[in-house]
C-alpha cells in the first residue's frame, strides 16, 4: 500500500496548538507512508484538489486526513478520494481538532498526541479493504408520528408532493397543542380558524391515511423499508359507522370526568368528541370512567346511537404499515406545576397553567369563552402571570428556555384586557425573550397599549387571603418586595419532552438529550435530520418551538423526505458485519444479541450457519463482540484493525 | 439396588434407542477413572459411580450433535448440559440424561499430596474404597485413609446442586444438600485480599508456568469454538505464538470473558491443568459480577436466556435511563 497523509491546519484551529508540519514530517517514518504534507484547509476546494493530485502523482492507494471529526467531513474526503479513482473506504481520518487542538494548549504534547492518532489511522488504513455498497429499492410511503401542527404540515407537504402518507396520532383527534389555543401571537388571529382548514385538508387528502387514537408499537427495518407496527387503541366505537352526531355525548350519564382536552379544568362525558372541529370527528369511550366498564351496566350510548356504532367488546388492534421514511413530530408536554409547591398549584384551584387559561379564553372551552375562575366562577379582575415556571431553573433540572412563554403571556394579557376591560394584568418575568418578526413590538403593545404591568423578579410564594391569592415576589428593578392581591394566578409552565419520548426514540433508534428531546443530526446544518437514515424530526419534539418554527420544520422535514424519495434505489452502507462461514459454528449467539434482527440462521451443506441481512445490519458491532471465535467481523472495523490500532497506540 | 446397579439397568433398557451413553469406567489404575462410551450391554457393565468420577461428560455432547446420545451426570455436570441447551448447542430431543445423587468427588491433586505426605507418593494405586466420609487409597502396599472433607474437590465444598437440575432418569434417593463450607471460596477470597500489584504478580507467576497446552480449554464443556479458537487463529489474530506471560494471560482472560455468565463452575479447566494453575478463579470472579449485575446463575434453567446473549434497551439492574 502507498499511503498519503494530509495534516490540516484548519486555519489556526489546529495549527494554533499543533505543529502540523512536524506531524506530517514524522509520519513519513510510518510503514507504507510514502507522502505526507500539511495543508491549510483540507476540506476546501484547493485542499481536496491537493489530495486528488497527490493520489495521482504519487500513485497513492490509501489516504489519511488528520483534521476534524469524521462526523463533519468524512463524507467530503471519501468523495474526494473516490474522484481520484480510489475506493472511498481506502480512507481514514484522525481527529486532531476536537480530540486534540481544541482541548489542550500544550503545543508539544498536542503535536505528540496528533502523531499518535495519525499512527493509529495509518495502522487501520493498512488493513482496510475496498468496500462496495449494494443497492436496494425504496418504499415511497412516509409515516408521520404526531398530528400536531408540525406533523400536519409535514403530512400535507408530503401528500401534496405525491407521496402516500400515514399519519399516526396518539389522541382521538389531530390538532395537538395548537388546537387548544384560543388566539395566536403576534397577530392575535384565532388558532382554530387557521389550524382547522389544515386539519380538514388532512382528513380529505386522498394520499393521507390517518390512524388516530393510535401509538407506534414497534419499528423494524431500515431507511427505505421500515415496518412499523401501529397499535390502534380500542375506542369502543366503530368509526366506520360513527357520524359524529353527538347523541351519545348528550345522553351519557357519566358527565363529571376531567376533560383532558380542556386541560382538566372542565368536565366531560365518558363517551366524547374532544372539540367541535375534531378530526376525525368520531366519538371514543374512556373505559376508566365509563359506567358500562366500571360498573358493568349502563349501555345508554349503545341505545341512543342512531347508527349502532358502539362496540363495548372492541380490543386494541395492531396494524403493520410499510414505509420508507419516518417523521417524528411528537411535540411537547407541559412542566408539572405541582413540582413548585410554593406557587400553590394543586392547593388553590385559582392557580392554573397558561394552557388552562387558553381554554378559559376559548369559545369552545368549558366557560364558553368567558373568563371565570375555577374556584367560584367569578370574573377575575386582578390577574398575575408568572413566567419561567419550570424554565431556566437549574434547581428543577430545567435550565433551558421554553422559548414561547414570554410571547403567549403577552398575548394573554392583551386578551384579558379585551375580555375584561376593567381588569389589570401583572407579569412577573426574568427577561423578555421576543426575538422574531413583530414579536418585540407585540410585547411592547401588551405593556404600552394594554397596560399590563411587567415586574422584573421572581415570585417567592402564593398564599390565600379570603377569596383572593396574595402573590409575594421581588421587584429587582425597584429593589423592593412586592405583594399583589390576585383573583387568578396563571403560571407560564415550561415545555418538556412529550411523555414517552425517550421510549419512542429508542424504537426509532435516534438519540435524545437528557430532557428527552430528540437530537438532530447537526444543531445548525442538519436541524431536521437524525443520525438514523430515513428518520426526520419536526416541531417541538426536538426542542421547544413556537408555531411558525414548527410549521417551518414540518415543511423542511417533508422536503427531506421528498428528496430521499426522489431516487428509486438507495445505496446501503457496506460497513456491516459479515460471517466467515468456515469459522461459524452455528451457535446463534449473534442472532440472539442483534438489536436489529439483522442476522438469520441458514443451512449450509447440512450445517447451521449465521448470515447477515445486508440492508438491515446497522454496523453496531454487538455480534462481533459476542462471537467467541471471531467468525463475524464488522467490515472496516475488524478485530485485526482494532488490535492493530491498540498495538500502535501501546507501542508508540 | 445400589445407585450404580440401577443406573446400569436403566441404561441397558435405553441403550437400543441410543448411539451411545457417556459415563465413567476404571482407568489405568484404581485411582484414575476415565470416560466411558457405552455402546453395548458389556460396556454398561464397566460403568462406575462414585467419588472418582471427576470428569464432566457433558464436554462430549456438542461434538455428537445430530446423534441421539445418553449421558450420565453428577449435579454439576447436569448444569453444563442445561447451559448447552440454553445456548442451542445441543438438541434436547437428542439427549437422554441419566443421573443419581452425588456425594462429591475427589481432587486428585489433594489425594496425591496425601499419599506423598504418607510416604507413598509414586507407584500405581492398587485399590481405592470410599464410604462417603473417608477415602482409603492403597498404593505401594500401603493403605492411607483420608477424610473426604480434606480431599474433596473445592467445587464439592460449595456444591448447591448435588442432584441433577435436569434428568430423564434419576435413580436412587437424592443426595442431601451439603452444608456450605466457609473455606469453599478460599481462592477468590485470597485474591480479593491482595493488592492490585500483588494480584498481578500472582498471575504473572502462574502464567509464567503455563505451557499453553490448552487442556483447560479442551476440558471446558462450554468451549465450543474448537478448531476456530482465537488462540490459534491468524484471522483474526488476537494472540501471537510468542511464549510470553502477556500472551498467556491474554488467552486466559479471553477464555474467562467468553465464559462470563455461561460458566457453570464445573472446574474442569483447573482439574485438567497439568500445572495446577488456579484458572477457575478468573471465571468465578466474572460469574460473581454477572450474578451481582443480572441476578443470574448459568445452567440452572434450560428456558432462561443468558443475560449476555440478549439485547435489552434497559437492563433491570443497570439504570442507564430513568424509566
Q: What is the pLDDT of residue B241?
A: 86
Q: Compute the distance between CA of residue A555 and CA of residue A413 in angstroms, rounded to an integer.
A: 31
Nearest CA-CA partner of A215 in A537, A541, A512, A504: A504
- Minimal C-alpha gap between A634 and chain B (Å): 12
Work out the average pLDDT over B238-259. 93
Residues 505-564 of A with CB under 8 A from B: 506
Q: Which is it for strands B134-139 and B95-100: parallel, antiparallel or unpaired?
A: unpaired
Q: What is the pLDDT of residue B131?
A: 83
- Within this chain, do residues B72 and B12 fall inside the same structural domain, yes or no? yes
φ/ψ (deg, to 5) at A558: -65, -40
- Minimal C-alpha gap between B153 and chain A (Å): 29
Asked if the structure places residue B323 within a domain, the reply is: no
Within an 8 Å CB–CB cutoff, is residue B28 touching chain A? no
Q: Is the dihedral of CA B204, B206, B209, B212 positive or negative?
A: negative
C-alpha cell of residue A56: 495521482
* pLDDT surpasses 90 at B178: no
Q: What is the pLDDT of residue A587?
A: 87
Asked if the structure places residue B280 within a domain, the reply is: yes
Asked if the structure places residue B251 within a domain, the reply is: yes
Q: What is the pLDDT of residue A73?
A: 93
Within an 8 Å CB–CB cutoff, is residue B230 touching chain A? yes
Q: Do A630 and B233 touch (CB under 8 A)?
A: yes
C-alpha cell of residue B256: 474467562
**Enclosing H/E stretch for A599:** strand A599-604
C-alpha cell of residue A256: 363529571
Mutation pick from B311, B319, B323 vs chain A, by most beta carbons of A within 10 Å, is B311
Distance of CA B212 to the CA centre of its chain: 20
Within an 8 Å CB–CB cutoff, is residue A589 touching chain B? yes
When the pLDDT of each residue in chain A is averaged and rounded to a whole number, the result is: 95
Q: Do A593 and B235 touch (CB under 8 A)?
A: no
- Closest CA in chain B for residue A596: B311
Range with lowest mean pLDDT among A278-282, A581-585, B178-182, B268-272: B178-182
Q: Please, which pLDDT band fits residue A429 given cuts at 50, 70 and 90?
A: very high
Asked if the structure places residue B100 within a domain, the reply is: yes
Q: Which of B89, B237, B258 sits opposite A640 (nearest CB)?
A: B237
Residues 36-55 of B with CB under 8 A from A: none
The residue behind cell 462496495 is: A132
- Closest CA in chain A for residue B232: A629
Q: Do A593 and B309 touch (CB under 8 A)?
A: yes
Which of 1.25.40.390, 3.50.50.60, 3.30.420.40, 3.10.20.90 is the CATH number of A141-233+316-331+498-564?
3.50.50.60
Q: What is the DSSP letter of A101?
A: I
Q: What is the pLDDT of residue A153?
A: 98
- All residues of chain A having their beta carbon less than 8 Å from the beta carbon of residue B235 are 580, 640
Mutation pick from A509, A512, A628, A644 vs chain B, by most beta carbons of B within 10 Å, is A628
| C-alpha pair distances (Å), B307 with each of A623, B228, B281, B313 | 14, 24, 21, 13
- Closest CA in chain B for residue A580: B235
- Closest CA in chain A for residue B224: A585
Which tens digits make up the pLDDT trace of A111-169?
A: 999 999 999 999 999 999 999 999 999 999 999 999 999 999 999 999 999 999 999 99
A577-635, CATH topology level: Alpha-Beta Plaits (3.30.70)
- Minimal C-alpha gap between A626 and chain B (Å): 8
Asked if the structure places residue B43 within a domain, the reply is: yes
Write the class of the CATH domain A3-126: alpha beta
Q: Which of B89, B238, B308 sits opposite A643 (nearest CB)?
A: B238
Q: Do B230 and A629 touch (CB under 8 A)?
A: yes
Within an 8 Å CB–CB cutoff, is residue B89 touching chain A? yes
Which residues lie below 8 Å from residue B141, measured CB to CB, with a gap of 6+? Answer: none
Which of 2.40.30.10, 3.90.320.10, 3.50.50.60, 3.30.390.10 is the CATH number of A333-496?
3.50.50.60
Q: Which residues pair with A197 in a beta bridge?
A: none
Q: Compute the distance between CA of residue B285 and CA of residue A376 in angstroms, rounded to an integer.
A: 68
Structural domain span for residue B187: 181-318
Q: What is the pLDDT of residue B186?
A: 86
Asked if the structure places residue B16 within a domain, the reply is: yes
Which tens digits make up the pLDDT trace of A9-43?
A: 999 999 999 999 999 999 999 999 999 999 999 99
Q: What is the DSSP letter of A596?
A: T
Q: What is the pLDDT of residue A652?
A: 64
- Within this chain, do residues B60 and B87 fall inside the same structural domain, yes or no? yes
Domain ranges of chain A: 3-126, 141-233+316-331+498-564, 247-304, 333-496, 577-635
Question: Mapping DSSP to helix (H, G, I), strand (E, B) and coil, where does residue A97 land?
Answer: helix
Q: What is the pLDDT of residue B124?
A: 81
Within an 8 Å CB–CB cutoff, is residue A630 touching chain B? yes
Count of structural domains, chain B: 3
Q: Compute the distance between CA of residue B231 and CA of residue B254 in angstroms, rounded to an integer.
A: 9
Q: Do A628 and B88 touch (CB under 8 A)?
A: no
Query: Is-contact A533 A223, C-beta < 8 A?
Result: yes
- All residues of chain B having their beta carbon less than 8 Å from the beta carbon of residue A628 are 224-225, 230, 258
Predicted structure pTM score: 0.80
What percentage of residues in chain A have a pLDDT greater than 90? 94
- Within this chain, do residues B18 and B165 fall inside the same structural domain, yes or no? yes
HSE of A52 in the Cβ direction (CA atoms, 13 Å)?
16
- Within this chain, do residues B12 and B75 fall inside the same structural domain, yes or no? yes
Q: What is the pLDDT of residue B322?
A: 67
C-alpha cell of residue A412: 394573554
Work out the average pLDDT over A417-422. 96
- All residues of chain A having their beta carbon less than 8 Å from the beta carbon of residue B319 are none
- Within this chain, do residues B121 and B226 fall inside the same structural domain, yes or no? no
- Within this chain, do residues B229 and B196 fall inside the same structural domain, yes or no? yes
| C-alpha pair distances (Å), A25 with each of A20, A203, B12 | 9, 66, 78
- Closest CA in chain B for residue A506: B313
Which tens digits make up the pLDDT trace of B120-163?
A: 875 688 899 988 789 999 988 889 999 999 999 999 999 999 99
Q: Please, which pLDDT band fits residue B323 given cuts at 50, 70 and 90?
A: low
Q: Do domains A141-233+316-331+498-564 and A333-496 have the same CATH topology?
A: yes
Query: Is-contact A231 A315, C-beta < 8 A?
Result: no
Query: Is-contact A327 A537, C-beta < 8 A?
Result: yes
- Within this chain, do residues B185 and B251 fall inside the same structural domain, yes or no? yes
- Within this chain, do residues B45 and B171 fall inside the same structural domain, yes or no? yes
Within an 8 Å CB–CB cutoff, is residue A220 touching chain B? no
- All residues of chain B having their beta carbon less than 8 Å from the beta carbon of residue A593 are 308-311
The residue behind cell 366557560 is: A367
Q: Please, which pLDDT band fits residue A556 given cuts at 50, 70 and 90?
A: very high
Q: Which of A503, A587, A640 sits opposite B224 (nearest CB)?
A: A587
Q: What is the pLDDT of residue B228?
A: 85
Higher pLDDT among residues A532 and A471, named by residue: A471
Q: What is the pLDDT of residue B65?
A: 81
- Within this chain, do residues B86 and B34 fall inside the same structural domain, yes or no? yes
Q: What is the pLDDT of residue A541?
A: 98
Q: Do B310 and A592 touch (CB under 8 A)?
A: yes
Asked if the structure places residue B257 within a domain, the reply is: yes
- Closest CA in chain B for residue A606: B66
Residues 277-316 of B with CB under 8 A from A: 305, 308-311, 313
Q: Compute the distance between CA of residue A91 and CA of residue A605 in angstroms, rounded to an integer.
A: 37
Q: Compute the distance between CA of residue A425 and CA of residue B45 in angstroms, rounded to an integer.
A: 101
- Minimal C-alpha gap between A535 and chain B (Å): 19
- Within this chain, do residues B90 and B136 fall inside the same structural domain, yes or no? no
- All residues of chain B having their beta carbon less than 8 Å from the beta carbon of residue A637 are none
Q: Do B323 and A502 touch (CB under 8 A)?
A: yes
Quote the strand ranges of chain B, DSSP E: 21-26, 33-38, 69-73, 95-100, 125-130, 134-139, 142-147, 169-171
Cβ–Cβ pairs < 8 A, chains A and B: 59
Q: Compute the distance between CA of residue A139 and CA of residue A635 in angstroms, rounded to an integer.
A: 27
Query: Is-contact A299 A292, C-beta < 8 A?
Result: yes
Q: Do B236 and A630 touch (CB under 8 A)?
A: yes
- Within this chain, do residues B310 and B225 fall inside the same structural domain, yes or no? yes
Q: Do A639 and B238 touch (CB under 8 A)?
A: yes
ipTM: 0.84
When the pLDDT of each residue in chain B is averaged and rounded to a whole number, the result is: 92
- Minimal C-alpha gap between B68 and chain A (Å): 17
Q: Do B228 and A622 touch (CB under 8 A)?
A: no
Amino acid at each position: 500500500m502507498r499511503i498519503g497523509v494530509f495534516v490540516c491546519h484548519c486555519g489556526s484551529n489546529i495549527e494554533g496548538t499543533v505543529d502540523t508540519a512536524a506531524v506530517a514530517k514524522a509520519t513519513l517514518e510510518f510503514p507504507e507512508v510514502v507522502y505526507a504534507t500539511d495543508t491549510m484547509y483540507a476540506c476546501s476546494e484547493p485542499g481536496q484538489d491537493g489530495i486528488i493530485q497527490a493520489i495521482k502523482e504519487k500513485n497513492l492507494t490509501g489516504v489519511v486526513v488528520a483534521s476534524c471529526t469524521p462526523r463533519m467531513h468524512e463524507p467530503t474526503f471519501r468523495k474526494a478520494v473516490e474522484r481520484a479513482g480510489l475506493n472511498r473506504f481506502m480512507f481514514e481520518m484522525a481527529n486532531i481538532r476536537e480530540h486534540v487542538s481544541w482541548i489542550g494548549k500544550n503545543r508539544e504534547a498536542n503535536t505528540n498526541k496528533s502523531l499518535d492518532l495519525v499512527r493509529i489511522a495509518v495502522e487501520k488504513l493498512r488493513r482496510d479493504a475496498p468496500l462496495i455498497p449494494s443497492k436496494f429499492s425504496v418504499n415511497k410511503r412516509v409515516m408521520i408520528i404526531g398530528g400536531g401542527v408540525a406533523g400536519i404540515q409535514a403530512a400535507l407537504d408530503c401528500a401534496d408532493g405525491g407521496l402516500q402518507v400515514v399519519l399516526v396520532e396518539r389522541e382521538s383527534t389531530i390538532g395537538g397543542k395548537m388546537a387548544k389555543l384560543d388566539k395566536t401571537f403576534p397577530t392575535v388571529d384565532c388558532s382554530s380558524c387557521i389550524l382547522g382548514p389544515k386539519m380538514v385538508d388532512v382528513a380529505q387528502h386522498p394520499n393521507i391515511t390517518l390512524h388516530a387514537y393510535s401509538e407506534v408499537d414497534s419499528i423494524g427495518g431500515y431507511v427505505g423499508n421500515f415496518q412499523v407496527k401501529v397499535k390502534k387503541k380500542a375506542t369502543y366505537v366503530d368509526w366506520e359507522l360513527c357520524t359524529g352526531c353527538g347523541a351519545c355525548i348528550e345522553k351519557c350519564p357519566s358527565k363529571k370526568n376531567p376533560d383532558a382536552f380542556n386541560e382538566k379544568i372542565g368536565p366531560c362525558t365518558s363517551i366524547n368528541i374532544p372539540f367541535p372541529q375534531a378530526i376525525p370527528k368520531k366519538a371514543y369511550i374512556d373505559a376508566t370512567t365509563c359506567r358500562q366498564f366500571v360498573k358493568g351496566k349502563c349501555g345508554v350510548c349503545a341505545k341512543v346511537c342512531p347508527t349502532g356504532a358502539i362496540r363495548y367488546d372492541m380490543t386494541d388492534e395492531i396494524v403493520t404499515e410499510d414505509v420508507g421514511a419516518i417523521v417524528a413530530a411528537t411535540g411537547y408536554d407541559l412542566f408539572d406545576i405541582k413540582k413548585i409547591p410554593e406557587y400553590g398549584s394543586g392547593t388553590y384551584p385559582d392557580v392554573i397553567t397558561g394552557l388552562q387559561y387558553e381554554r378559559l379564553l376559548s369559545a369552545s372551552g368549558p366557560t364558553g369563552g368567558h373568563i371565570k375562575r375555577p374556584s367560584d366562577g367569578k370574573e377575575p379582575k386582578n390577574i398575575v402571570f408568572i413566567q419561567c415556571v419550570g424554565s431556566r431553573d437549574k434547581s428543577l433540572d430545567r435550565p433551558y428556555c421554553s422559548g414561547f412563554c414570554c410571547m403567549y403571556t403577552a398575548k394573554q394579557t392583551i386578551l384579558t384586557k379585551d375580555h375584561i376591560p376593567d381588569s389589570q394584568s401583572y407579569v412577573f418575568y426574568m427577561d423578555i425573550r421576543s426575538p422574531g418578526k413583530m414579536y418585540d413590538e407585540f410585547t411592547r403593545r401588551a405593556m404600552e397599549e394594554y397596560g399590563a404591568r411587567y415586574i422584573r423578579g421572581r415570585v417567592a410564594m402564593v398564599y390565600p387571603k379570603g377569596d383572593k391569592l396574595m402573590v409575594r415576589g421581588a421587584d429587582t428593578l425597584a429593589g423592593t418586595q412586592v405583594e399583589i392581591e390576585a383573583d387568578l394566578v396563571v403560571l407560564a409552565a415550561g415545555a418538556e419532552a412529550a411523555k414517552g419520548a425517550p421510549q419512542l426514540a429508542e424504537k426509532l433508534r435516534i438519540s435524545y438529550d437528557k430532557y428527552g428531546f430528540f437530537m438532530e443530526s447537526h444543531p445548525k446544518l442538519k436541524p431536521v435530520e437524525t443520525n438514523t437514515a430515513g428518520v426526520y424530526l419536526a416541531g417541538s419534539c426536538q426542542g421547544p418551538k413556537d408555531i411558525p418554527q414548527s410549521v417551518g420544520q414540518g415543511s423542511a422535514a417533508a422536503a427531506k423526505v421528498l428528496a430521499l424519495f426522489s431516487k428509486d434505489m438507495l445505496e446501503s452502507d457496506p460497513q456491516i458485519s459479515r460471517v466467515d462461514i468456515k469459522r461459524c459454528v452455528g451457535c446463534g449467539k449473534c442472532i440472539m444479541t442483534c438489536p436489529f434482527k439483522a442476522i438469520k440462521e441458514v443451512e449450509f451443506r447440512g450445517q447451521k450457519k449465521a448470515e447477515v441481512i445486508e440492508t438491515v445490519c446497522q454496523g453496531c458491532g454487538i455480534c462481533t463482540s459476542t462471537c467467541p471465535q471471531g467468525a463475524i467481523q464488522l467490515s472496516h472495523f475488524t478485530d485485526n484493525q482494532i488490535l492493530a490500532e491498540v498495538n500502535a497506540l501501546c507501542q508508540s | 439396588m445400589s445407585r450404580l446397579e440401577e443406573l446400569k439397568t436403566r441404561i441397558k433398557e435405553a441403550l437400543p434407542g441410543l448411539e451411545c451413553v457417556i459415563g465413567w469406567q476404571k482407568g489405568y489404575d484404581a485411582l484414575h477413572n476415565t470416560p466411558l462410551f457405552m455402546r453395548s450391554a458389556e460396556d454398561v457393565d464397566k460403568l462406575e459411580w462414585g467419588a472418582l468420577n471427576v470428569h464432566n461428560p457433558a464436554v462430549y455432547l456438542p461434538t455428537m450433535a445430530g446423534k441421539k446420545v445418553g449421558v450420565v451426570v453428577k449435579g454439576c455436570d447436569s448444569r453444563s448440559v442445561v447451559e448447552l441447551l440454553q445456548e442451542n448447542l445441543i438438541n434436547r430431543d437428542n439427549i437422554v440424561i441419566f443421573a443419581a445423587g452425588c456425594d462429591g468427588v475427589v481432587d486428585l491433586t489433594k489425594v496425591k499430596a496425601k499419599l506423598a505426605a504418607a510416604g507413598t507418593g509414586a507407584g500405581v494405586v492398587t485399590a481405592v474404597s470410599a464410604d462417603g466420609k473417608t477415602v482409603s487409597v492403597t498404593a505401594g502396599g500401603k493403605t492411607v485413609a483420608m477424610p473426604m472433607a480434606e480431599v474433596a474437590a473445592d467445587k464439592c465444598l460449595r456444591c448447591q446442586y448435588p442432584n441433577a437440575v435436569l434428568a430423564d432418569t434419576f435413580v436412587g434417593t437424592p443426595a442431601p444438600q451439603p452444608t456450605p463450607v466457609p473455606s469453599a471460596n478460599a481462592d477468590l477470597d485470597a485474591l480479593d485480599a491482595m493488592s492490585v500489584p500483588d494480584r498481578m504478580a500472582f498471575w504473572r507467576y502462574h502464567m509464567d508456568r503455563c505451557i499453553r497446552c490448552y487442556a483447560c480449554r479442551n476440558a471446558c464443556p462450554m468451549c465450543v469454538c474448537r478448531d476456530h479458537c482465537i488462540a490459534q487463529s491468524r484471522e483474526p489474530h488476537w494472540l501471537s505464538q510468542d511464549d510470553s506471560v502477556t500472551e498467556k494471560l491474554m488467552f486466559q482472560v479471553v477464555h474467562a470473558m467468553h465464559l462470563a455468565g455461561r460458566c457453570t463452575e464445573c472446574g474442569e479447566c483447573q482439574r485438567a491443568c497439568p500445572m495446577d494453575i488456579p484458572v477457575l478463579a478468573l471465571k468465578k470472579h466474572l460469574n460473581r459480577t454477572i450474578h451481582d449485575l443480572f441476578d443470574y446463575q448459568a445452567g440452572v434453567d434450560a428456558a432462561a436466556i443468558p443475560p449476555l446473549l440478549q439485547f435489552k434497551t434497559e437492563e433491570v439492574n443497570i439504570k442507564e435511563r430513568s424509566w
